[in-house]
Amino acid sequence: MNMIVVGCGRMGSELAYRLFLMGHHVAVMDIQGAAFNNLPPDFRGHKVEGEILARDVLHRAGIETADGLAAVTNSDAFNAVIGHIASSIYHVRNVVVRNYDPRWRSLHDAFGLQVISSSSWGAQRIAEMVSESSFPAVFSAGNGEIEIYEANIPAEWDGKTIGDLAAGRQFVPVALTRTGRAELPTPQTLMAAGDVLHVSATLEGIQSLRALLTGQVEV
């Protein structure tokens, strides 16, 4: 696939190199030629220096035939504009933009773009890891608004149903594993001590589940 990475800083160079190793045809763009020094020596993609919003520069990068574009500069306004141009004018199928400052997230949302906010997601994951390691997140959707968590069922919940645990709360059970075999749980599914339950939840939802399983609140 033909991929364009806009911005060749620390994130852009790493992204461009990863896409290159995955076998994609990669063009990486930056206004400063010195930025390409961030790329590993064995990178064999196309390096495009110039004013990135200029039509001729975009065409040199191959935007007319691009399958995907990632705008990952440290300017939220710039990322939003180039993402909008790629999506609405050149109809690039897969456009992802970086949110550098969480305070500017609404700018990307206004354009309806797929957004990765490394600051927000990273802060949430670090907070979870340093404070609540007993309920690890194993999958993150979006920028961490919804995650899938893993929880062990304690003896106090042996013989109770999934419905007893989840009714009216901000998490959704997605899998129950017992002796290495997983199943899709229903509200009537009986739990046993030692079961591993995976739930899809907000941060508030996993906090409520944690309180239930650790006996901090009563059912």
- pLDDT per position as a tens digit, 22-79: 999 999 999 999 999 999 999 999 999 999 899 999 999 999 999 999 999 999 999 9
| pLDDT > 60? residue 132 | no
**Residue 88 identity:** S
**Residue 166 identity:** A
Residue-level pLDDT at 204: 86
- Model pTM? 0.67
Cα separation, 108 vs 165, whole angstroms: 37
The CATH number that domain 124-213 falls under is 3.30.70.1450
Residue-level pLDDT at 190: 96
Q: Where in the chain is the domain with CATH 3.40.50.720?
A: 2-116
Tell me the mean pLDDT in the region 187-212. Answer: 91
Residue-level pLDDT at 112: 83
Cα separation, 111 vs 183, whole angstroms: 40
Q: Where are the alpha helices (DSSP H) in the chain?
A: 10-21, 55-60, 76-88, 105-110, 118-131, 162-166, 203-213
Residue-level pLDDT at 131: 63
Residue-level pLDDT at 219: 54
Pairing of strands 196-201, 171-178: antiparallel
Residue % of the chain over a pLDDT of 70: 94
* Lowest pLDDT segment from 57-66, 81-90, 141-150, 162-171: 141-150
Q: Give bridge partners of residue 27 from the DSSP assignment.
A: 4, 46
Residue-level pLDDT at 125: 65
Secondary element (H or E) of residue 27 = strand 25-30
Determine the Cα angle at 119 with ends 1 and 106, to 5°. 80
Dig out the tokens for 47 from the structure: 């390096």
Dig out the tokens for 110 from the structure: 């206004």
- pLDDT per position as a tens digit, 170-190: 899 999 999 889 999 999 999
9, with CB counted inside 10 A (0-12, 13-18, 19+), is: middle
Task: Report CA torsion sign: 126, 130, 131, 134.
Answer: positive
Tell me the mean pLDDT in the region 131-144. Answer: 72
Q: Give bridge partners of residue 4 from the DSSP assignment.
A: 27, 69
Q: Where in the chain is the domain with CATH 3.30.70.1450?
A: 124-213
Q: Give bridge partners of residue 28 from the DSSP assignment.
A: 5, 47
Residue-level pLDDT at 128: 63
**Residue 144 identity:** G
Domain 2-116, CATH homologous superfamily name and number: NAD(P)-binding Rossmann-like Domain (3.40.50.720)
Q: Give bridge partners of residue 100 from the DSSP assignment.
A: none
* Mean pLDDT estimate for the chain: 89
Comparing C-alpha atoms, which of 128, 199, 190, 198 is closest to residue 169?
199
Task: Report CA torsion sign: 107, 100, 15, 125.
Answer: negative
